[in-house]
Amino acid sequence: MNIAIYPGSFDPFTNGHLDILNRACAVFDEVVVLVAINSSKNTFFSLQERVECLKKVLADHPKVKVDSYEGLTVDYAKKVGAKHIIRGLRAVTDFEYEFQLASANRFASPGIDMVFFMASAENSFVSSSVVKELYRNGADISPLVPSEVLKAFTSKK
Ligand code: ADP
């Protein structure tokens, strides 16, 4: 079975993430959406909130599993027998960071490759930070996130 890992903070999961995930599902047999546990990052949603929300959003995606992990994604990939890590690319600014990350992963684990999908035009400006900034300032974020994510925002006070 051809398994891929899609790691990220997903704080929150946006339609941009969903687009990348759906396209990855067309290529791989199983995709694990891996919520990174990064204690140095201050997140808006707790790890538990993000995982629970993702499980609801992706309940009708038979190829997708949701999990969380503290440590290197490549180590998680080895644990589950995955050979590919999915990432998304928006502007050139993403490239530098992703290139460094890909090189670090290759250094740590040469047998695992990164696979990149380019953002679709309508999602190219969508990031978790932009969504949070718009929400804080009272904008309607419903076109940018799955409905379960919108619910998570409105139920969080
Ligand atoms: P991280 O904190 O690891 O960067 P994110 O949750 O911000 O995690 O993003 C996970 C991955 O999804 C990254 O590769 C990021 O570039 C990609 N991504 C985020 N938003 C979009 C988008 N709108 N279109 C395409 N890829 C995206």
Taking the centre of ligand 1 as the mean of its atom positions, its distance from the CA of residue 1, in whole angstroms, is: 25
Closest CA to 63 of 16, 21, 108, 18: 21
Q: List the single range of 38-47, 66-75, 94-103, 131-140 with lowest mean pLDDT.
A: 38-47
What does the alpha-carbon distance between residue 102 and residue 96 come to, in Å, rounded to a whole number? 10
Tokens 């530098």 map to which residue? 96
- Predicted confidence at residue 40, as pLDDT, reads 76
So what CATH class is 3-155? alpha beta
| Residues involved in catalysis | 17, 41, 90, 128
Report which DSSP code applies to 121. G
Taking the centre of ligand 1 as the mean of its atom positions, its distance from the CA of residue 115, in whole angstroms, is: 13
* Domain residue extents for the chain: 3-155
Torsion angle of the four alpha carbons 103, 109, 111, 112, in this order, in degrees rounded to the nearest 10: -60
16-51 residue pLDDT tens: 999 999 999 999 999 999 999 987 778 999 999 999
What does the alpha-carbon distance between residue 59 and residue 52 come to, in Å, rounded to a whole number? 11
What does the alpha-carbon distance between residue 134 and residue 4 come to, in Å, rounded to a whole number? 31
- Count CB atoms within 10 A of the CB of residue 60: 7
Residue-averaged pLDDT of the chain? 95
Closest atom of ligand 1 to CA, residue 87: 14
Give residues (CB < 6 A) around ligand 1.
8-10, 14, 16-17, 20, 36, 87-88, 90, 94, 119, 123, 126-128
What does the alpha-carbon distance between residue 13 and residue 21 come to, in Å, rounded to a whole number? 11
Confidence at 156, pLDDT banded by 50, 70, 90: confident
Taking the centre of ligand 1 as the mean of its atom positions, its distance from the CA of residue 112, in whole angstroms, is: 19
pLDDT at 112 over 80: yes
